[in-house]
Structure 1
Amino acid sequence: MTIHAERRGVAAPPDLARSWLLVPATKPENFTPAAESGVDAVILDLEDAVSPPAKPAARDRVVEWLGRGGSAWVRINDATTPYWADDLAALSAAPGLAGVMLAKTESGNQADATADRLPEGTRILALIESAMGLEAAPEIARADGVFRLAFGSGDFRRDTGMSDDPMAMAYPRSRLVVASRAARLAGPIDGPTISTNETVLQRDSALTASMGLTGKLCMHPDQALAVNRALSPSQDDINWAREVIAELGEDGERVRDGSDLPRLAKAKKVAELARAFGLD
């Protein structure tokens, strides 16, 4: 796993985190390098990345690393499998657990049951990967412990037969954005780009931003730079925000009419993100 110094920077808080790196739990040698790679958040994957016979050993490695000072999110197995309860039992006392990603979430009850088995306040990323999960997205977004929604786009396409064409994926992405906003959650996290082609990654990350999603799953730390750039305010955005705030006042004391208020609100949001990402 190659670490690039230029990709280090201010780590965004979880509610604003842009790049979410999935790391197979079968590769403990990559846990620490991933955490130091400059991505906003690391997810140690106990689900799709681990075959059933290897799950107990992989789970033990994750718990051991979290107990030795490591900190990360963990993708646990879905609630319909026997591995779900074992994952939660093992992780409930792990000191470095940042939160869990619940695979294949399909109901608010599954999220509630997950929260009940974890220490109070543990954050849950609900991964939506099926038509059933998408239909239940508003209910899931309001469930106890759910912190953000994430889009398992590959499994969703397999479940529905949809293609990866942006038009085909517009509805599920939009539904997750609206469900998140209605539940007062941070913006959802988009599915990963499998291709290592930089042009494709930049295109996909720009699409993520245009649809209103504010994070993106990554398969490799080298993807973080493009993802973080696409999901952050540009320098032009930051300059515009400064000018608007200077013109209208931080508290709106120079607002002239109703049309100025939305402009000021957007400018203050851009300025807030710039500060959070260390871009100001």
Structure 2
Amino acid sequence: MTASTIDPAIARSWLLVSGIRSEEFDAASDSRADQIILDIEDAVDPKLKADARGSVIDWLTAGGVGWVRINDRSTEFWSGDVDGLKGVPGLSGVMLAKTESAEHVTETFDRLGGTVPVLALVESALGIEEAPSIARARGAFRLGFGSGDYRRDTGTSADDLAMAYPRSRLVVASRIGNLPGPIDGPTVGSSHPVLRQKSEHAVAMGLTGKLCLDLDQLSVINETISPTVSDATWARDFLDDFESRGRVIRDGSDLPRLGRAEKIDRLAKAFGIQPIARR
């Protein structure tokens, strides 16, 4: 029951585990997930929420480490969630469901003591519209996309083109708020080719993480969102050549390539991706 070594600011795979299934917590913690989220919101029947919250608090207090998806600010359960989790050891942060304003983030952050990061899950048309202010809110750590609830709220299909606007909106808002890239919603189903395609599309749009519901999805998500070996090799070669010439700028393309190479190299090291050595 140890914390992932992957910084949550760059974490790729975020595994959701129902808070009522305490027997699955240890397996999730030991999995390939960069971060785990114990869910006491959508995954739990309202009659069982108090039990789920208690199970999560007990596991975290006993040495477990993870995030907790709490109920949204408008519900009767939010206050009990934040008060119950305040000061609990092992709590990495909270994912706030159905975030629709900056105040939802700051009130959650403050009630938790002003030190627990808040991952704001945006799941509605209003949340997408307010995304820039949510990203700027005190305590906001990263944005997440609740794609399923967003589709239900707006009537949008799951088609990539139809969902391009909310994803882009979250990417732009994250940049405005100086946050890490946002986390995409989960892909439902057992098809790895579909999951890979959806993950590649999210990366192409600027998202840098993905929620998942199944242990079998983790390796695909981690691989797809990570730099490739060829990317890591190009980055290392560029940086070595740049250093060998005394970091002299030759033309206008050097600075953009330098920024890209430094980012790829940093992520490759964090994810254990080795560039191909020069002969």
Q: CA deviation at 1:247?
A: 2.0
The residue number in structure 1 matching 2:150 is: 156
What is the correspondence of 1:65-80 to structure 2 with a 5 Å cutoff? 65-80=59-74
The residue number in structure 2 matching 1:7 is: none
The residue number in structure 1 matching 2:173 is: 179
Give the structure-1-normalised TM-score.
0.95
Q: CA deviation at 1:120?
A: 2.3
SS at match of 1:125: strand
Give, as a single letter, the amino acid of the residue that structure 2 aligns with 1:200: V
Q: Output the CA distance in 2 between the equivalents of 1:178 and 1:250.
A: 36
SS at match of 1:126: strand
Alignment CA distance shift 1:217-1:250 (3 Å):
farther
Q: CA deviation at 1:254?
A: 3.1
Q: Output the CA distance in 2 between the equivalents of 1:181 and 1:250.
A: 32
Q: Find 2:110's aligned residue among 107, 116, 136.
A: 116
Q: CA deviation at 1:119?
A: 2.3
The residue number in structure 2 matching 1:240 is: 234
- 2:26 is aligned with 1:35: no
Alignment CA distance shift 1:254-1:126 (3 Å):
same
Task: Count matched residues.
Answer: 271
Give, as a single letter, the amino acid of the residue that structure 2 aligns with 1:37: S
Q: Output the CA distance in 1 between the equivalents of 2:89 and 2:241.
A: 47
SS at match of 1:253: coil
Sequence identity (%): 53
The residue number in structure 2 matching 1:18 is: 12
Q: Output the CA distance in 2 between the equivalents of 1:183 and 1:122.
A: 18
- 2:237 is aligned with 1:222: no
SS at match of 1:209: helix
Q: CA deviation at 1:182?
A: 1.1
| Long gaps (5+) in structure 2 | 275-279
Deviation per residue, 1:140-168 (Å, 9 max, x gap)? 00111110000000000000000000000
The residue number in structure 1 matching 2:277 is: none
Alignment CA distance shift 1:57-1:261 (3 Å):
same
Q: CA deviation at 1:251?
A: 9.3
Q: Output the CA distance in 2 between the equivalents of 1:230 and 1:263.
A: 22
Give, as a single letter, the amino acid of the residue that structure 1 aligns with 2:64: G
The residue number in structure 2 matching 1:4 is: none
Q: Output the CA distance in 1 between the equivalents of 2:131 and 2:244.
A: 36
Give, as a single letter, the amino acid of the residue that structure 1 aligns with 2:205: M
The answer on whether the counterparts of 1:11 and 1:39 sit within 8 Å (CA) in structure 2 is no
Q: CA deviation at 1:113?
A: 0.7
The residue number in structure 1 matching 2:121 is: 127
Runs of 4+ in 1 over 3 A off after TM superposition: none
Q: Output the CA distance in 2 between the equivalents of 1:96 and 1:236.
A: 37
Q: Find 1:198's aligned residue among 192, 196, 212.
A: 192
- 2:130 is aligned with 1:99: no
Q: CA deviation at 1:246?
A: 1.9
Deviation per residue, 1:235-262 (Å, 9 max, x gap)? 0101111121122228961321221111
Give the structure-2-normalised TM-score.
0.95
RMSD across aligned positions (CA) = 1.2
Q: Output the CA distance in 2 between the equivalents of 1:75 and 1:250.
A: 48
